[in-house]
Amino acid sequence: MSVGLAAVLQAAVLAAIVAATAGPLGNHLARTFTTDRDLAPERWIYRLGGIDPRADQRWTSYLISLLAFSLASILAVIAFLQLQAHLPLSNGMGAMPFHQALNTAISFTTNTNWQSYSGEAAVGHFAQMAALAVQNFASAAVGIAVVAALIRGFTRERTDRLGSFWVDLVRGVVRVLLPGAAIAAIVLVLGGVVQNLDAPHEITTLTGGHQQLLGGPVASQEAIKELGTNGGGFFNANSAHPLENPSPFTNLFENALMLVIPFGLVSAFGVMVGNRRQARTVSLVMATILGLMVLGTTVSELAHPGTASQLAGAAMEGKETRLGVPASTLFAASTTGTSTGAVNAAHDSLSALAGGALILNMGLGEVAPGGTGSGLYGMLILAMVAVFIAGLMVGRTPEYLGKRLGPGELKLIAGYILVTPALVLLGTGVALAFDGPTSSILNSGPHGLSEVLYAFTSAANNNGSAFGGLTSATTFYDLALALAMLLGRFLPIVLVLALAASIGRQGRVPVTAGTLPTDTRLFAGLLLGVVLVIAGLTYLPALALGPLAEGVR
């Protein structure tokens, strides 16, 4: 079978798995966030936490609970990483430098999983499990909670209550992420992923040399790393590492894990607002963008432009033999489209245009289909922009799902759209203006600019993947990228919750002949245009200086 045909069929298998799970998972997610019944383990958690699960919170209270939980998480992760030498199963790993621990703590609590450290060289098993894996669950559940609150803003009327953050957080973990990750972890073990608590131990190789054989609770971490769109690898090489991703099967499985919750949440949105066609429109736009990204990166990598790749005869630098080009680009488009940031190939070694496409994919705001929760709230914000633009054309007050988008709402939406590009472009600009940060660049010329642009795009959009040539374990990058991750996560969340409250307070506008239908192909086309135009106008100048300049030279 030709590479091209196999590539198409491989992508089709992935699409079929995601399409088949989205409906049932969507129903389950919708039930999770609408039912009044608590499960027994959830009641125990509420009792231990001293939480009243029936307390319906205002947006400010919901936000303060969320921020309090995230602050406690950041402090806990820093403590684990600084004190790991005194913990069991630490394999002799010492305290992480403070700026790196701070970066890592913010990275994992914001669902980014940017890794300034190398897993096998810096983090012991206990800190991997009790600090990093916990945040893989929690940060994913926080994102899902925020979108649940936003959807309640649409479904409720004349109320200032958005639900309970604690209930949304706990249910997301107990009903969705924990059972999903447990099953996925076992599948991964059966597929060859390592899962034990062993410290590295030396063996004698076939030729009499010496090699360290590594172990660790890898499969359990890998499962939630992908399912929660986190992306932080147990090992430095992430999903390119054969102990994390040993075969083409585990690779496809991990690829599917990243996509199921983001698409499942869209389906849940359709159930919760009582109109599945609204969800299908959103899914269509997400899937179209993702498909274009897969196509673009795969074609570029198979054509393998670039002096080195042409000389080698194929774009295999930074790619694993068992995966090859198509499985690497499929994963790359999925990981940048979902805010996961796991990588199964070196993005820095991709052809210029493929690397540029990945930067753009993140720059769209992580909405195709985006991270757990954050992808859907990002896309709903863009849908509201699309409604606003359509409203300008026909001279009507914009409405989305029966809620009016007045000046107050539009200010929040505009703020949301501006936050991440500002962080990306300012951050990149500052880094390039100084000698210290620019000396971290590995590849010279336009490709070096791409490394820095990629880093800030990844951090501010909470993706976490990297052009790994950039030496980011410096005080400047640890702190600058931590700030980008922090603001890129929590400023949008503040705006989304404020927006949810603002539309929740409204009554429902009746549908009339003048209402713009938002569940049609026409609207899908408009939304697609809005997504591409906003990101395109924002990032084109920067992309022109980096990947485009390298690609056309």
- Cβ burial of 407 (10 Å; 0-12, 13-18, 19+) is exposed
Of 439, 441, 30, 537, give the one whose Cα is nearest residue 270. 30
Q: Pick between residue 306 and residue 365 the one whose CB is nearest to another protein.
A: 306
Q: Shortest approach of another protein to residue 281 CB, angstroms? A: 30
Question: Residues 459, 419: contact at Cβ < 8 Å?
Answer: no
Minimum separation from the CB atom of position 530 to another protein (A): 32
Stretch touching another protein by CB under 8 A, among 95-103, 167-175, 284-292, 407-415: 167-175
For the chain, state the CA radius of gyration: 22
Residues 228 to 257 in contact with another protein, rule: CB under 8 A: 235-237, 240-243, 246-249, 251-252
Stretch 121-160 residues interacting with another protein (CB under 8 A):
121, 129-131, 133-134, 137-138
- 73 near another protein, judged by CB under 8 A: yes
Q: How far apart are CA 305 and CA 551, in angstroms?
A: 8
- Quick check: 425 and 542 in contact, CB under 8 A? yes
User: Which residues, 170 to 199, sit near another protein by CB under 8 A?
Assistant: 170, 173, 178, 181-182, 185-186, 189-198
> Cis (ω within 30 of 0) for the bond into 53?
no
How far apart are the C-alpha atoms of 327 and 109, rounded to whole Å? Answer: 29
**What is the amino acid identity at position 96?**
M
Query: For another protein, what does the binding mask look like between residues 290 and 309, x meaning CB under 8 A?
Result: --------------xxxxxx
Contacts (CB under 8 A) with another protein, residues 359-398: none
Q: Which is nearer to another protein, 308 or 537 (CB)?
A: 308
- The distance of closest approach from Cβ of residue 92 to another protein in the complex, given in angstroms and rounded to an integer, is 12
Site string for another protein, 467-486 (x = CB under 8 A): xxx-----------------
> Which residue of 118, 397, 515, 520 would you call a contact of another protein, by CB under 8 A?
118
**What's the count of helices (H) and strands (E) in the chain, helices before strands?**
22, 4
Three-state SS at 339: coil
Count of CB atoms within 10 A of residue 161's CB? 18
From 84, 100, 115, 221, residue interacting with another protein (rule: CB under 8 A): 221
Chosen residue from 312, 418, 511, 552 binding another protein by CB under 8 A: 312
**Nearer to another protein by C-beta: 123 or 383?**
123
Instruction: Name which position in 35, 212, 475, 515 contacts another protein (CB under 8 A).
Output: 212
Q: How many residues does the chain have?
A: 553
Binding to another protein by CB under 8 A, coded x per residue (else -) over 74-93, reads --x-----------------
The only residue of 29, 33, 65, 500 in contact with another protein, by rule CB under 8 A: 65
The CA distance from 341 to 493, in Å, is 20
Pairing of strands 399-400, 201-204: unpaired
Hey, which residues between 36 and 55 contact another protein (CB under 8 A)? Answer: 45, 48-51
User: CA-CA distance, 427 to 432, in Å (whole number)?
Assistant: 9
Beta strands in 343-484 (DSSP E): 399-400, 403-404
- One residue of 320, 366, 399, 478 binding another protein per CB under 8 A: 320
| CA triple 181-182-187, angle to 5 deg | 90
Among 110, 338, 339, 349, binds another protein (CB under 8 A): 349
Please pick, from the candidates 143, 180, 217, 337, the single residue that binds another protein as defined by CB under 8 A: 217
